């Protein structure tokens, strides 16, 4: 998977993850680094910026690491999260920004302004 994606400046927000090759629908785009699992207490101690990089799945809090921590939200995402991976919801072309819907796996209780620019944009991300 190394080299399949690259991190660079995003039009959505800060840095983003971009496909460095074509991906087919159903293909794993990113496998997450699970080495940074946190307890509920550790999550509470994080500053607000770091909390934005938490994913909660299967009863586990994961502090996302690069490159997956730079996957931006879209209300019309091209990947979904499953089994601690980002999986292509549709074919993704080389050069396209990899996006996911944070409402499907973010840290519970967050409200973040959405900048996705999608025609389906809801304006706020509620997790």
CB 89 within 8 A of CB 77: yes
User: Is the CA virtual torsion 14, 116, 64, 92 positive or negative?
Assistant: negative
Which pLDDT value is given to residue 48? 85
Which pLDDT value is given to residue 109? 65
| Domain count for the chain | 1
Coil, helix or strand at residue 35: coil
Which pLDDT value is given to residue 110? 64
Angle at 34 between CA 67 and CA 37, to 5 degrees: 115
The CATH number of residue 120's host domain is 2.170.270.10
Which pLDDT value is given to residue 27? 97
Mean pLDDT by 10 residues, the chain (127 residues): 89 95 97 94 91 86 94 93 93 97 67 81 75
Tell whether omega for the bond before 67 is within 30 degrees of 0, i.e. cis. Answer: yes
Q: Which domain holds residue 118?
A: 5-126
**What are the φ and ψ backbone dihedral angles of 112, each rounded to 5 degrees?**
-130, 135
Which pLDDT value is given to residue 114? 84
Tell whether omega for the bond before 75 is within 30 degrees of 0, i.e. cis. Answer: no
- The runs of H, that is alpha helices, within the chain are 40-45, 48-51
Which pLDDT value is given to residue 7? 97
CB 3 within 8 A of CB 20: yes
Coil, helix or strand at residue 78: coil
Q: What is the separation of C-alpha 126 from the centre of its chain, rounded to a whole number of angstroms?
A: 14
Which pLDDT value is given to residue 96? 97
Bridge pairing between strands 97-100 and 72-73: parallel
Which pLDDT value is given to residue 126? 72
């Amino acid at each position: 998977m190394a080299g399949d994606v690259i991190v660079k400046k995003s039009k959505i927000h800060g840095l983003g993850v971009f496909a460095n090759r074509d991906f087919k629908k159903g293909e794993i785009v990113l496998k997450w680094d699970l080495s940074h699992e946190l307890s509920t207490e550790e999550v509470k101690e994080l500053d607000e910026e770091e909390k934005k990089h938490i994913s909660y799945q299967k009863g586990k809090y994961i502090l996302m690491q690069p490159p997956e921590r730079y996957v931006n939200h879209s209300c019309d995402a091209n990947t979904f999260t499953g089994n601690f991976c980002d999986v292509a919801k549709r074919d993704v072309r080389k050069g396209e920004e990899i996006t996911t819907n944070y409402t499907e796996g973010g840290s519970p209780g967050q409200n973040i302004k959405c900048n996705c620019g999608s025609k389906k944009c809801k304006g706020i991300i509620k997790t």
